[in-house]
Amino acid sequence: MNLNNRPARPQNNIKRNSKNEIVLNTNNKENIIKTEIKNKEEKNTEINSKNISNENINNSKMIMAVTKDTRLPLNVEDLLIQEDKLYKILDNIRIKVNFNFSAEEYLEFSHITSIQTFVIFFDEKYKENINNAQIYEFISAVLSDFIYLKNFVNEKSVDHLKNILFYTHQNLIMIIVLLLKQIGIEYQNNIWVLKLKDLVKLKRAESMNGDEHFIIELNNRLLFNSVINFIKIYFKNPNDYKIFSIFNEILNNLYRVTLDNVKNNLFNLKNMLIYSSENTSTSFVHINLPGPFLPPINKKYEYTLVLDLDETIIHCIDQQEITPLIRPGTKEFLSELSIYYEIVIFTASIKEYADTILNLIDENKKWISHRLYRPHTTVLKSTYLKDISKLGRDLSKTIIIDNACDNFQLQSDNGIFIKTWIDDKDDKTLYNLIPVLKEIVIKKIKDVRKALRKIRDTMIRLYVKGDNTPYSTVLQYITGEKKLKE
C-alpha cells in the first residue's frame, strides 16, 4: 500500500462555514454521544452482563470524584470514549491503515467533550504533569493528522509517531487509574466505573506496575524529546515554518499553556493547512528580533558576504537523517573568499539542522565568521525575510547570495540571485562567482549595490544575446578589460 497517497476523507460529518473552514458544531454533541453510547453499550453488554445484576447498576455517567477539598463531577463515559478514540489511532498506526481518519475522529470528539481537562482532580504538585500529559495526547493526535496533510507518511515517520502515541496512551491509562482511586465508594458498582476498571485491566501493560505519577513524569520526558525531534525532522522546511514554530512554542512553554490554548492554536493551524487561508486567527509566535545581530566586524575585513544554505550551497536529500549534498565548489568558494570577505551564513532553517551541516562543511571553523538562523529572520505576511540591515554592517559593503530572491527583497540591490541547486554535479556557478566577488574587494568598490546592479543588467543583456559564459564576460567588465555602459 502506498501510504503517501492520502485518500479523500469521508465528508459525511464535516461542516464548513462560508470560508470553507471546518466548523465543529457543538450541537452535534448529543447525536454523537448517543451513537457512542449505543456502540459502547452493544460492545460492553456481553462483558458486563456476567457480573453485574440489573438491580445494582447505577446508570449515571456523571459521577462524583473525591478531590482533596470537595467532590467534583466526572463524566466517565466521555473518558471511555476518549480512550477508545486515542487507542484507535495507535491501533491503526500499528496495522498501517489510514490512521488520519481515527485522528480526525479523536480531534472532533475532543472539540465537543465536556472533559476539558482532568487537572482539576489532582493535587497541586501533580497538576503540571497531568496537564502536560493531556497536551502531549492532543498533540499526538494532531501530528497523526498532519503527517497525512503534509504527505510525510513513510515507514520512519509512522514508527516515530507510533512511539509518541504509545506513551501518550500509556499516560491516559495512568490518569484513569489515578481517577479511579478518587471515585466515591458509592459509585464503585456504577456500570461506567466498572467499564473503566475493565479497561484498565485490559490495557495496563504488566511492565507498568509502579507509581502512576512517576510513570507519567517519565513518559512526559520521553514525549518531550520525541515530539521535539518529530517536528524538527518533519517540519524543518522553511514552508513549514509556522507549524514548526507553533509546536516549538507550545513545547517550550508547557508549564504556562493550558490544554484549551493548545487546542485553539492547533485547530486554527489545521484550518490554515487545509485551506491556506490568510484569515485564520492562528497566533503567530515568531518574534521579529531587532538588530544588530553581529558583533563589530573583524578589522581584517571591510566587506561582508551573506550566504544562504539550502539549495544555495547544499541540498538535503533525506529529511530524517541530515545527509547533505554539497554544491560543487562550496569549499573552494568559502576558503578563497574568506580571505576577502567576512562570511556570514544566514539560513531560515533551525540552528540544530544548520549547525550539523555547517560543521561538516567548515570543520575547522575558519571560513565562516558568523551563523544566523531562523530566529534572525523577519516575518512579513507569513514569509520570513533576511533583513540584512539588522546585521550591523555597512550596507554599501554587504552582499547577500540566495536562491530565493524573495528572501532579500528588503535590500534587493545587495542581492545576488543564485540558481537553485539540487544535485547537478557539473554546476559551475560557485566557481564562476569566485573571481567576480574577489574583484569587488580588490577594486575596493565603494558601493556594492551599484556594482551588483551593473553586473545584473549586464548579465541579463549577455544572456539575451546568447552569451553562455556571462560570468567571465562580466569579470572582464569588472577588471576594466571591457568598459561597462552606464
Distance CA 224, CA 7 (A): 30
Q: Is 308 in the site for Mg ion (CB under 5 A)?
A: yes
Please identify, among the stretches 14-22, 253-261, 381-389, 399-407, the one whose residues bind Mg ion according to the rule CB under 5 A: 399-407
Residue nearest to Mg ion (CB): 310
> Which residue from 91, 128, 217, 311 is in contact with Mg ion, where contact means CB under 5 A?
311
In the complex with Mg ion, which residue's Cβ is closer, 101 or 421? 421
From the candidates 84, 310, 362, 402, which is the catalytic residue? 310
Smallest Cα–Cα separation from 315: which of 324, 306, 323?
Answer: 324
Q: Which is the catalytic residue, given 308, 362, 387, 402? A: 308
| 330-336-337-340 Cα dihedral, nearest 10 degrees | 170
Nearest to 252 by CA among 240, 262, 241: 262
- Contact code string over 256-275 relative to Mg ion, x by CB under 5 A: --------------------
User: What is d(CA 53, CA 26) in angstroms, rounded to the nearest whole number?
Assistant: 35
For the chain, what is the radius of gyration of the CA atoms?
Answer: 29
The yes-or-no answer on residue 310 being catalytic is yes
Smallest distance from the beta carbon of 12 to Mg ion, in angstroms?
Answer: 43
Residue 310 sits in the site that holds Mg ion (CB under 5 A): yes
Stretch touching Mg ion by CB under 5 A, among 52-60, 102-110, 119-127, 401-409: 401-409
**Considering beta carbons, is residue 265 or 330 the nearer one to Mg ion?**
330
39 residue type, one letter: N
- Closest separation in Å from C-beta 468 to Mg ion: 25
Q: Decide if residue 383 touches Mg ion (CB under 5 A).
A: no
Shortest spacing between CB 71 and Mg ion, in angstroms? 59
Nine-digit cell string for 255: 508549564
> Which is nearer to Mg ion, 145 or 362 (by Cβ)?
362
Please tell me whether residue 83 binds Mg ion under the rule CB under 5 A: no
Q: What angle do CA 67, 85, 149 make, to 5 degrees?
A: 125
Please provide the DSSP assignment of 10-37 as one string: P-TT-EE-TT--EE--GGGHHHHHHHHH
Q: DSSP characters for 226-260?
A: HHHHHHHHHT-SGGGHHHHHHHHHHHHTGGG--HH
SS3 383: strand
Nearer to Mg ion, 85 or 374 (CB): 374
Candidates 67-75, 112-120, 291-299, 302-310 — which segment interacts with Mg ion by CB under 5 A? Answer: 302-310
Among 403, 412, 432, 473, binds Mg ion (CB under 5 A): 403
Cell of 60: 449515571
Question: Would residue 260 show up in a list of annotated catalytic residues for this protein?
Answer: no
CA distances, 94 to each of 155, 158, 162, 173, 221 (Å): 11, 9, 7, 19, 23
Output the smallest distance, CB 235 to Mg ion, in A. 17
Catalogue the active-site residues. 308, 310
- For binding to Mg ion (CB under 5 A), which residues are involved? 308, 310-311, 403
